[in-house]
Structure 1
Amino acid sequence: MMLFIQSTDYLIWDVVLDGPFTPLKREEDTLVPKQRHEWNDEERRRVQMNAKAMHILFCALGPDEYAKMSSCSSAKEIWDKLEVTHEGTSEVKETKIGLLNLSYENFKMVPDEDIKKMFDRFSVIVNGLKGYGEIIPEDKLVRKLIYSLPESWDSKKTLIIEAKNLKTLKLDELMGSLCCIV
């Protein structure tokens, strides 16, 4: 959803994250909201961004979620509710990140698992971490995957380590190499 909104208009994404724009004017020593008839064209355009963002979000929701979000008055409010609904509170997120990190740290190929299933399982963990903002450099992912192979793969691991530059090797290339030498 984030990428879809950003590709539509990055200013709309700013409204989702920061909240709607409110045109203000100075009265004495305080700023107060302008009346709608006082807005200039630029202010009107910026206010409209919230409506566009809300429209995009509402169009992406199913009927049940729409019913829960339809009372929201800003795209930021909708987004924040969706985040809590789907990702949980900050405490829940921290717990999920901790569990994903534990899965990553303890990752090993399991008996009777082929390379593709192992890679798919690894990708789920890595993508889960990435979804929570925990990005692991590709060279570390490559090393983790190589060293997660069982002892029966030692000769194949050695072949890859000696033949490839692990600092520049991509996960997909590693996967291709592992599949070719099976």
Structure 2
Amino acid sequence: MKRYLRRLGRDVWRSIEEGPHVPILSPVQTDGSTTRLGGGQPIWNHPTKDDLDKMENYAVAFYEISCGVAPDNIDIIINYKSAKEIWDVLKNLYKSSKQAQDKKLTTALNEFNNFKAHIGESLEDSFKRFNVVVTKLSDAGTICSNHETNLQFLNGLGRHWTTTKMIVQGDRKIHSLSLYKHYGELQA
């Protein structure tokens, strides 16, 4: 999320770090006296171009960070009114203790090792599900080799892929192809 927001511009990211920009407005003064509308309320100066740019960057930051939150975390951030508050909450939410990191890794490894295609599931749907598992494993800090990943995917496909698995496992490409290219070869 941080990389994405920084890519939108350093000023967008800065607006999250610093919080919303509030322009400083003051009564317009001429000849030492405050100009007033019809002798009543003072006339205020307008926000500067810099103020407007900062407010626009903040609006972009707030929108993007709000839309980037996972649906199951919307209830957590819904009551916060600034991008900075949301960012601070998300940082604390995703800042894992060692125990939480270990649990995340264990869960991801179990999903990887126990991956099985569902009965009647298409190759494409199996690939999509497996790719999510590999991403979780990567997010938990473990990167498997192409060989390990391809082999696990093949082994999870089920009995009706036995002949194809034997052919692919005998081919040296299983060691070097990325999972996506390996999937492409299975489709051919």
TM-score band (shorter)? 0.5 to 0.7
Which segment is superposed worse, 51-60 or 98-107? 51-60
Partner of 1:68 in structure 2? 80
> Does the C-alpha gap of structure 1 residues 89 and 172 become closer, same or farther in structure 2, counting only changes over 3 Å?
closer
Paired position in structure 2 for 1:178? 186
Q: Give the 5 Å matches for 1:127-166.
A: 127-166=135-174
Cα distance in 2, alignment partners of residues 163 and 53 from structure 1 = 53
The residue aligned with 1:59 is 63
* Gaps in structure 2 of 5+ consecutive residues: 19-54, 68-73
Paired positions, count? 144
The one-letter amino acid of 1:135's match is: I
Q: Name which of 105, 112, 121 aligns with 1:97.
A: 105
Letter in 2 for 1:2: K
In the TM superposition, what whole-angstrom CA distance separates every residue of 1:64-113 from its partner, at most 9, and x where no partner exists? 7374263x8xx5x753421334x475344543332222111111223322
Query: Is the counterpart of residue 7 in structure 1 residue 15 in structure 2?
Result: no
Compute the RMSD of aligned alpha carbons. 3.8
| Structure 1 residue 12: Cα displacement | 8.2
1:142–1:166 contact (8 Å) kept in structure 2:
yes
TM-score by length of 2: 0.56
Instruction: Please give the alpha-carbon distance, in whole angstroms, between the structure 2 residues aligned to 1:57 and 1:97.
Output: 31
Q: 2:117 maps to which residue?
A: 109
Give the TM-score, by structure 1 length.
0.57
Residues 94 and 88 of structure 1: is their aligned pair in 2 closer, same or farther, counting only changes over 3 Å? farther
Q: 1:3 to 1:139 in 2, by over 3 A?
A: farther
- Structure 1 stretches lacking a partner, 5+ long: 21-50
Tell me if the contact between 1:108 and 1:148 (Cα under 8 Å) persists in the aligned partners.
yes
Using the alignment, how far apart are the partners of 2:6 and 2:144 within structure 1? 24
Identity %: 22
State the one-letter code of the partner of 2:122: D
